[in-house]
A and B are shown apart, each in its own frame.
Chain A
Amino acid sequence: MDNGTKKYNAEKFERVHLPDDANEELSRPQLSFWKDAWIRLCKNTGAITGLIVIVFIILMAFIGPFMNDYTNEGANYDAAYLPPKVKGLEAIGFDGMQTYEVQGATEEEAIERGLAGYEIEEEYVQDTEVVITKEESEDGYVTVAMEVDIYAARGLEDQYFWFGTDSMGRDLWTRIWSGTQISLYIGFLAAMIDMVIGVIYGGISGYYGGRTDNIMQRIIEILSGIPNLVVVILMIILLKPGLIAITIALTITGWIGMARIVRGQVLKLKGQEFILAARTLGANDKRILMKHLIPNVTGMIIINTMFTIPSAIFFEAFLSFIGLGLQPPIASLGTLIDTAFDDYRVFPYMLLYPAVIISLLMIGFNILADGLRDALDPKMRK
């Protein structure tokens, strides 16, 4: 192993004195916590996709209603139940064709009954097809699918309702995007209120500890035993459905989760050396709270808030669905879905678009929140 045979220049064996900062260059560049978290978030494709989806939906919620000339209200029964039709996209299904399924003893009778029932002239029927023959059916009737150019039948050839219209002939594109606005509004408002109450309650409870904490925790323990479903429903019944009622109902127990997390974090941080060090240096309560505790808890607060928003949006939609939601004329994604359920077997587009948007919104928020948790959770830090 002795390499003494190989010759080196003598000057290679001069002593060198490395500058003091040479060590620093060897280690990785120092990143602030938030910068580091941001970089990690950007590496998470799912979270970024979620963020893009959310931003897109938020933008559309504000721009969408102004993209055509139709208004949110104003019934026009001539234009009721029109399927989606988009100029240029006829080939991929946005052709304004409506398919009705009609029954009759024979194929002809079924069509005849369909024409009469839906008040359509025969010339607008594009195509008919027997879906269930007499032999296949249980009740001896023939079921015929009848494709109708309903825009023409109503004399509205020059109209283009991109997402179709509802039972009152209102443009669903406009209604869906303004409904999205309402849903987002409820989601954000409820999350903010939860955050403020939760942070204050949890912060006080964790920071002061002792008896204060004990009493505050017992209260939480009792409240958290009540399923929030029950609280929300009772509150809505009491307050009469509406925007404010829903927001209050959602926040009345919604802050508990946040309060628990903040308390836990504060308790944990309080015992750590850097807080003790700050205290020994003479920092007062307010300074410790503002300069040390809050910044360190912020990550958890953001994560939790991000999870609250989709759950508030869901709850609003859920309440609308069981008849406790917003009352007309205000529409949210939830009320639109609820209304769509009345007729969706014939007019599935009424359900499809709000359902897709609420699902995308929920998925977007959930994966963004997951990504944030991974990015902000110091435990995951390498």
Chain B
Amino acid sequence: MDPILDVRHLHVFFDTYGGTVQAVRGVDFTLEKGETLAIVGESGSGKSVTVKALMGLVTKPAGHIPEGEILFEGKDLTKLSDKEMQKIRGKDISMIFQDPMTSLNPTMKIGKQIMESLILHQKLSKSEARNRAVELLELVGIPDPASRMNQYPHQFSGGMRQRVVIAIALACNPKVLLADEPTTALDVTIQAQILELMKEIQRKMETSIIFITHDLGVVANVADRVAVMYAGKIVEIGTVDDIFYHPKHPYTWGLLGSMPTVDSDDEKLMAIPGTPPDLINPPKGDAFAARNEYALQIDLEEEPPMFKVSDTHYAATWLLHGDAPDVEPSEAVKKRMKGIAKGNLSAGKENR
């Protein structure tokens, strides 16, 4: 079966006063029906920009897509006009934003904000849309939905607002749901509720989800597959098992090493030294080389291609080349990986 979404060689650039920022520099991945793909990476790795590009929300003229295709049910979204894209946004592909405190219009009633896309895409009448909006609010677990319809966002708590944002995203039964760190801004207990809600909805509606996060605990909880992004590229992609039990990229090792687990007796987390590279002038070779304790000479000269590890698992590091020395992640990382294997993740822990 064809994947519902096929992203090929996607590049997204932004023109700024300082120069052109190469936020996304060649990203390939596919998304199957009903699947959840998690994209992880630190701030500035290009994960949010990638999903914005999928939504057609890269704002011109500063932002543009110089290269690459986004195939959605066979159509290349990058070639569509603004008008055509408006018909897909919110209907076939919709999005949940990071911060529920700022993503609802403060001067518009909740009900109207949900009804808007129903009237727009499903051509419902006002009263039909109202009934459907009440149903949606009920679906996302808002008590007393009918009277809540007439309230304003500031009368809702953060968790409730995020439920409303989810209701808006689900309004037209989208085929693809893009969730940009939907739980980062929420309390830990609320996070778990929202994650449960998303899983439940996915079961009911068979939606495909792209879930962006920098929280590996959340990934283990919700995702089928994981893509690790660094400096505008996917450096490793595979199933949850591949990434958590058999990571191949030193950056993935670093990420896992920096994640707290419940039974880690040594308190110290492994930090990845240094900061991500400047994407106005991306370094030659492997962008991660400067922070990589296992860096090879070739990392400084040539970008590593995607090496195949298994049918589901690929990683872009020269360490997988036949001539490369055998290196193993450090003991501390291994220990953590074992901890994760035992399912002892402190799920949903803030690690910003």
Contacts and interface: CB of A to CB of B under 8 A. Distances in A.
Interface of A: 1-4, 8, 10-18, 22-23, 26-28, 43, 382
The secondary structure that dominates the B interface is loop
Interface stretch (B121-129, B153-161, B251-259, B322-330): B322-330
Interface in B301-325: 301, 305-308, 314, 318, 321-325
A11 to B, nearest CB: 7
A15 B17 contact: no
Q: List the 4 shortest-distance A-B pairs measured between CB atoms, nearest first.
A: A23-B274, A12-B298, A3-B305, A1-B306
A2 B291 CA distance: 25
B298 A3 contact: no
Contacts, number: 65
A3 B321 CA distance: 8
A28 B21 CA distance: 13
Given A18-B295, A23-B274, A13 B321 contact: yes
Given A13-B324, A23-B291, A2 B301 contact: no
B298 A27 contact: no
A258 B251 CA distance: 51
Contacts of B17: 43
A85 B158 CA distance: 73
B290 interface: yes
B81 interface: no
Contact of A27 (B16, B278, B301): B278
B297 A23 contact: no
A139 to B, nearest CB: 60
Contacts of A43: 17
Contacts of B18: 382
14 contacts: A1-B314, A2-B307, A2-B308, A4-B307, A4-B322, A8-B321, A8-B323, A12-B323, A13-B318, A13-B325, A16-B300, A18-B289, A26-B278, A26-B283
A27 B296 contact: no
A11 B273 contact: no
Given A4-B322, A16-B299, 18 more contacts: A1-B305, A1-B306, A12-B297, A12-B298, A12-B301, A12-B323, A13-B318, A13-B323, A16-B295, A16-B297, A22-B274, A22-B290, A23-B273, A26-B274, A26-B275, A27-B275, A27-B278, A382-B18
Contacts of B278: 26-28
B145 interface: no
Nearest to B324: A13
* Chain B residues touching A, range: 20 to 34
B245 interface: no
The secondary structure that dominates the A interface is loop
A18 B291 CA distance: 9
A26 B322 CA distance: 30
Contacts of B290: 18, 22-23, 26
A1 B283 CA distance: 23
Interface centre among A26, A43, A382 (most CB of B within 10 A): A26
B46 to A, nearest CB: 17
A62 to B, nearest CB: 37
B134 to A, nearest CB: 40
B297 A13 contact: yes
A13 B294 CA distance: 10
B222 to A, nearest CB: 27
B275 A15 contact: no
Contacts of A13: 296-298, 318, 321, 323-325
Contacts of A18: 289-290, 295
A2 B320 CA distance: 10
A2 B308 CA distance: 6
B277 interface: yes
Contacts of A382: 16, 18
A10 B296 CA distance: 11
A2 B306 CA distance: 7
A217 B307 CA distance: 67
Contacts of B289: 18
A214 to B, nearest CB: 28
Contacts of B323: 8, 10, 12-13
B326 to A, nearest CB: 11
Contacts of A8: 298, 321, 323
A310 B295 CA distance: 60
Interface centre among A8, A23, A28 (most CB of B within 10 A): A8
Contact of B294 (A15, A23, A26): A15
Nearest to A20: B273
B302 to A, nearest CB: 8
A4 B275 CA distance: 31
A1 B275 contact: no
Given A1-B308, A3-B307, A26-B290, A12 B296 contact: yes
